[in-house]
Each structure stands twice: as C-alpha cells, then as structure tokens.
Amino acid sequence: MKKTHNTLWLLVVFLFSSNLLFGQEDLMDLFGEEEPTTDYATATFKTTRVVSGHSIENPANGVLLFTISHHFGRLNQGAYDFFGLDQATIRLGLEYGINDRLSVGIGRSTYQKTFDGFLKVKLLRQSTGVRNMPLSVSLFSSSDLFSLKWQDTERSNYFSSRLSFVNQLLIARKFSESFSVQLTPSYIHKNLVVEKGTNDNFAIGISGRYKITKRLSINMEYFHNLPGYVADNFENPLAVGVDIETGGHVFQLHFTNAQPMFERAFITETMGKWDNGDIYFGFNISRVFTIKKPKEFIE
C-alpha cells in the first residue's frame, strides 16, 4: 500500500513538472494571464493621400500603388465650359513599398509639365501595450522639376532653376476607429521664384478623416502659409471630399481651390478663392498591385 502511495505521488510530481516545462503558456491561460503585447494603430487613413497631400500611410511592403489624380476646371467658368468639366489637370503617380518603413514614388503632372519624386519614411507608429506611443510620425521628402520651355530665352536659364524641394513631418493620431487627425509642418524651397515671394517657404497643414461607414469617409485638408513667404496673389489651399473603397480600388472625390496636385505647387501656388467660386472638382483613383508577398511588420 505504501509503495502504491509513493508511486502516485511520483506520478503527480512528474505531471506537474512536465506542465511547468512544456505547458507554461497553457498554465498561464488557465489562470487568465497573457503575455504582454504591443498593439499598433492601423488604417489611420485609407490610402497614401488625404486629398492632395500625403497621409501617414505607406504602401505595404512589396506593394505597387498606381494613382490617377484629376482636377477639372473651375466651377465658376459657367455653362459654356460645362462648369469646368471641359478642362483638366492630371497627375499620374507610382508608389512602391520597399519595406515596412520606407516607400518611394514618382509622378508626372500636366501642371507646368512637372516631374516629381519622393521618399517617405515611418519614424514612429502609434501603439498601446508594451510600447505606448500616442502618435505616428513620418518624414516626407520630395523634389520636382518643371519642364516648360523658358519664356525668356534672352536671359541665362539654368537647369537648377527648374528644381524645387519639399520636406514635411507627417504627425498623425487615430483617436478612434472613425476619427483621425494629421498635422503637417512643411518647408518648401524653390530655386527660382517667378512671382514676388521668397525662395524658402514655411507652411503648416491640418487634415482629418471621419468614417461614416466601413467603406465611406469624409476627408478635409488645409495648408496655411506663413505670412510674407508667398506672393499676395496666392491663397491657402482648402479641400474637402469623400473616400470610397471598393476592394482593390479607392476613389477619392473632392472639391478644392488648388489646381495642381503635388506639394510645391498646391501648397504655395494656389490661386483660387472659395468665396469667388474658384473651386475645382477632382478625384484620385488608386489601384494596388502586389509585387511580392507582404511580410509582417518588423520593429
């Protein structure tokens, strides 16, 4: 009897030890304990643009994003020009996610026949849990080259005069599943200034998104140029619109007083006034192509 009793005790000790060695996670689940994790905010905005300006989002690792951006003419042009629909300004763009933090892009606009290219790097990601970060922050840097023929051929015209540069911090927070806000302090440098103004310009952008349904949201975007840096005949750009998701496509429909659709031009060279009816109806259409299978985000 004593031998049987000792055998039972040895069996209990063996089972308990095995559980500690091989089933520790199950034992933690039994007592309601979970390993600490970090939860990252996702889909702060639906695509890489809020309206014309960049959002905090990047294409996923190995994903190519093709975007067609289109602005018609001004609504106040009247019925003869079909309220602006007879005219068009277009930008075609490609963006690619090199990895989970870095993306690159190129584009071509009919406005001033401009080529542009950019880099966007994720510096911080909003998160809770082990790593608690209240904001997402990215660095955006671009350059553009206008290829219009020189209007004054008598003077010395340099290739470098065609170049401009933009640097921005994209600072965003997703407050809920429905509401996101982004601040965008911006520095713009133009090698050549045609209108009265300065080569260096500073602006601050504020934009937001409010989801109405799973596939529909309202977006707003505004950039304020610091006084004294741009010519008096230029206005601050304001845009409002909606995002509509249809699976592989995202349609962005919007109204804005800015005709161009790349940073240097729409931030510092907007001439339309909302109160005069200088409003452009436009849209962005985005389509994604998976070049390589995306990997899990790596910290």
Report whether pLDDT(140) > 80. yes
pLDDT digits (tens, 9 = 90+) for 221-272: 999 999 887 877 899 999 999 999 887 678 999 999 999 999 999 999 999 9
- The C-alpha atoms of residue 185 and residue 201 are separated, in whole angstroms, by 11
Domain assignment present for 297: no
Residues 92 and 9 in one domain: no
Residues 75 and 4 in one domain: no
Q: What total of structural domains would you count in the chain?
A: 2
- The C-alpha atoms of residue 25 and residue 141 are separated, in whole angstroms, by 46
Cα–Cα distances (Å) from 241 to 29, 208, 217, 269, in that order, read 47, 11, 9, 21
Report whether pLDDT(143) > 70. yes
pLDDT digits (tens, 9 = 90+) for 76-119: 888 888 877 888 999 999 999 999 899 999 999 999 999 999 99
Report the pLDDT value the prediction gives residue 5, as an integer from 0 to 100.
52
Report whether pLDDT(17) > 90. no
Do the Cβ atoms of 13 and 20 come closer than 8 Å? no
pLDDT digits (tens, 9 = 90+) for 172-189: 999 999 999 999 999 999
Report the pLDDT value the prediction gives residue 259, as an integer from 0 to 100.
94
> How many CA atoms, within 13 angstroms, populate the side-chain half-sphere of residue 114?
25
Domain assignment present for 296: no
Q: Residue-wise over 7-41: b if at least 16 C-beta within 10 A, else e?
A: eeeeeeeeeeeeeeeeeeeeeeeeeeeeeeeeeeb
DSSP E strands, 175-256: 179-190, 200-213, 216-225, 238-245, 249-256
Environment class of 158 (CB within 10 Å of its CB; exposed 0-12, middle 13-18, buried 19+)? exposed
Residue type (1 letter), 28:
M
Residues 96 and 11 in one domain: no
| Mean of pLDDT values over 59-74 | 94
Residues forming a β-bridge with 222: 206, 238
Report the pLDDT value the prediction gives residue 18, as an integer from 0 to 100.
46
Residues 28 and 159 in one domain: no
Residues 130 and 261 in one domain: yes
Residues 124 and 71 in one domain: yes
DSSP E strands, 110-162: 114-124, 127-129, 136-146
Q: Which domain holds residue 109?
A: 46-290
Report residue 176 as tokens: 């809920």
pTM as predicted: 0.83
Q: Calculate the average pLDDT of the chain.
A: 86
Do the Cβ atoms of 278 and 51 come closer than 8 Å? no
| Mean of pLDDT values over 73-78 | 87
Domain assignment present for 40: no
Q: How does residue 195 score in pLDDT terms, banded at 50, 70 and 90?
A: low
Domain assignment present for 41: no
Report whether pLDDT(20) > 50. no
Instruction: Return the CATH number at 103.
Output: 2.40.160.40
Least confident of 6-10, 31-35, 239-243, 268-272: 6-10
